Amino acid sequence: MATLVAAPASAAPTLPAAPLTAYVQARAADAEGKVTAAAQGYALALSAQPSDPVIAVRALRQALAAGDLPLARRAGAVLRQADVAPPDLDLLVFSDAVIARDVVSQRAALGRLAGSPLGFLVPLLASWVDLPAPEIAGDGGAIPRRYAAENAALRLLATGRTAEGIAATRALLSATGGDADFRLNAAQLLARVGERDTARALLAGDDPVLARAVETLGRGSRGDARFGISRLFARMAGDLSAEGTEALAIMLSRSALLLDPGYSRARIALADALARDDAVAEARATLARIPPGDPFAGSANALGVVILQRSGDLPGALALAREQATRRDAPTASLRRYGDLLLESGQPAEAARVYARALGQAGSTADWTLYLQRGAALDRAGDWAGALPMLRRAVELAPQEPAALNYLGYAQVDRGENVAEATGMLERAHALAPKDPAIADSLGWARFRAGNLADALPLIEGAVRQAPNDVEINEHLGDVYWAAGRWVEARYAWRAAAVSASGPDAQRLAARLANGPPSSHR
């Protein structure tokens, strides 16, 4: 879903000196992601020019980002008066009307939404307030149909039609495997009516949020309109991760929190949307409001690290991950996250030590990915003897996982060890993931090392077409071209590799461009 509003086409507002300064400063703060300062500046400008829709649309979006709902409502009223209100404004209007039990305003908001791109929500929202839904055109497609099916099952559970609700829930889980949000919401409603065993069954599995939610089953799940609508809005907001959807995700999550201030899933969705909209400080402050014992506390920790990574602050992300991993009660997920960042930042030996702690903590429940990551870290740290048993254990635990097969197979082929068996692993990996360029390159490299240029070349050429900026794949292509006597094309491939190369890779490619591969003096 694209953003549903743009600023009205208009010249910059004409304002007195002080409000004009505030407007200019607000625009600057807006551009820098300083949403609180931006909202304050737009509020002052809107007070000086209370009917200007250009100021109002900016005030609305920054007010929502900053959590200043009175300003958002004031700006929304200006836009409504000018007949340029964005469709998603009625999500906030409807939420206010639900809280106030204002049926007239609920009907009006639903009527306006019915003719908008958000019309598919109207029957879902109407069901929670027991109103007839205005007619809408179509159902919006597969994703809105999924929301409708989940909403219907939750509504059955909330209204005491427990047997029908359980049947609808099981049908959805059978068809889709069940989204974690839906399972949690259904479990909360089931616990509310005494179906605690059925609720616990919905939360079974490896998901840490669901595991922690068992301890809070039934709390805060009144099953009323505020519960149902807040869950629907948060569900949608969490799904909106594409570029251009940040404004809608912020509106949805703010409206969800208005309806249920304690619902941390909505706070997670809000923080993610704020960060993607460059409001990193507000996003981190939003996550900080989630208490440590909350079922979503682990998700908040993980997102906090991701937000810093996405903003380009790798040292900050590493420091936060380290702080989380060194807590006395740090879960395995925090250790793994810290290890991943250490590996990304070029500290493989330390990463291997952290992965060892994670493996020790996980014990017999450790999955193949932890063994793969520790093996990769040891390999990059120069400890191949320590890496090999880790990589073999990963393949033993997950013999059909292309990533595990590819890493162990390629590492052995490249070293000239256990070549026949390692090549077999690469063949299996390629059969399982035929469109993965890294695996195609690995198998091509194995063919090349075995002297089979005819089979190697199409595999590596295909890999380059899929991953044209990959340094290693381009370098391999150059080596194969050189061995085939196609020296001009070899240098072209090495130059392509050198564009993105750095450090030792760049030095090695410079030597190849000057002298050819190490085995040649041509």
pLDDT tens digits, one per residue of 195-233: 989 989 988 887 888 888 887 776 656 789 999 999 999
Q: Let me know: does 269 contact 241? Beta carbons within 8 Å.
A: no
Report, as an integer, the average pLDDT of 42-57.
Answer: 91
Which one, of 504, 436, 503, lies nearest residue 473 by Cα?
436
Question: Do residues 62 and 247 make contact, with C-beta atoms less than 8 angstroms apart?
Answer: no
| Predicted local distance difference test score (pLDDT) of residue 342 | 96
Residues 6+ apart with CB under 8 A from 313: none
- Classify burial at 489, counting beta carbons within 10 Å of its beta carbon; exposed 0-12, middle 13-18, buried 19 or more: middle
Question: Does residue 521 surpass a pLDDT of 60?
Answer: no
Mean per-residue pLDDT, 305-334: 93
Distance, CA of 221 to CA of 152 (rounded, Å): 17
State phi, psi for 49 to the nearest 5 degrees.
-135, 70
Q: What is the pLDDT of residues 122-164, one digit of tens each?
A: 999 999 999 998 888 766 688 888 999 999 999 999 999 999 9
8-state DSSP, 80: H
Q: How confident is the model at residue 20 (pLDDT cuts 50, 70, 90)?
A: confident
264 vs 178, which has greater pLDDT?
Answer: 264
- Of 436 and 18, more confident: 436
The pLDDT, as a whole number, for residue 6 is 46
Check residue 220 and give its pLDDT: 58
Helix (H, G, I), strand (E, B) or coil at 351: helix
Selection from 492, 443, 437 nearest residue 466 by Cα? 437
Cα dihedral across residues 88, 93, 96, 98: positive or negative: negative
Side-chain half-sphere CA neighbours of 232 within 13 A: 32
pLDDT of the residue at 244: 83
Q: In whole angstroms, what is the distance from residue 33 CA to residue 162 CA? A: 46
Contact between residue 384 and residue 412 where contact means Cβ atoms under 8 Å apart: no
Average pLDDT, the chain: 91
pLDDT at 174: 86
Instruction: For 408-426, write each residue's pLDDT tens digit.
Output: 999 999 999 999 999 999 9
Per-residue pLDDT of 460-473, as tens digits, reads: 999 999 999 999 99
pLDDT in tens, 171-190: 998 887 668 899 999 999 99
What pLDDT is attached to residue 499? 94
